[in-house]
Amino acid sequence: MADDETRKAGPRFHGRVETGRACDESGCDAPGEFRAPADRDGAARRDEPGGWRWLCLDHVRAFNARYNFFSGMDADEIAAAQRPYAGWERETRAFASGGADRPPRWADFTDPLDAIGARFRERRAAEQPRADGRPLSGEERRALATLGLPPDADRRALRQRYAELVRRYHPDRNGGDRSHERALAETIAAYICLKSARAFA
C-alpha cells in the first residue's frame, strides 16, 4: 500500500527522482526516490561530495523530522557554522573574461524612444563643471535644472530666466489661474538658492 501511495505521489513531491533502486532503509522494499545525506559517522560529511542515501517517501519524512545539522559538532564548530558570513571565506572562481557569454555592449541595444540615452546625456550635462571652475553643490545643480539653465549660466542669465518664469507662472499674469502655483514656488526656491551661491557671486 505504501509503495502504491509513493508511486501515485508523482512529481508533486519536490526532490523526487526515479532511481530504480530500493530504499536504503533496512527491510524496506519501497522505491528509494528521495536523497538524504549520510550520517555524520558515515562515509562522507555534509560539505563533501557523495555520502548520499536514497530513501522512500515515508523514510525520508522520518529522516527530515529527526535531522539535526549540528549533531556531532562541538560548541566551536556550531558557533563557526552560525556566523553570518560562514562560507564566504572560501575563494570563488572568477568569471571568464574571454567566454562566449559576455554581456552585450551598449551599442547592441536599440533605444528608439531615446529613453536610456537621454537620461544619461542629461545626467552627464548636469554634472559637467563650470568653465570658470566655480563649484556647484548638488542642491545648486538641481536648482539650475528647475530653472532650465546650464551649469555655466551667469548672474544675468539667472535673473532673466527667473523673471521669465515668474511672469509665466504668476496668477496675476494668467487671469487668476492658480494651477501653476507649485511651479512658481519651485522657481522662487531655486532662485533663492542660486542667488547666494558662490558660482553666482
The structural domains of the chain, with segments of one domain joined by +, span 2-79, 131-200
Q: Is the pLDDT of residue 5 over 60?
A: no
Q: Which fold has domain 131-200?
A: Helix Hairpins (1.10.287)
C-alpha 101 chain-centroid distance: 21
Chain segment 41-67, per-residue pLDDT in tens: 444 444 555 578 889 989 989 988 888
Q: What is the pTM of this model?
A: 0.39
40-44, 82-86, 163-167 — which is least confidently predicted? 40-44
Query: Which of 23-32, 100-109, 164-173 is least confident?
Result: 100-109
| 110-119 residue pLDDT tens | 777 777 777 7
pLDDT at 39: 62
pLDDT at 162: 92
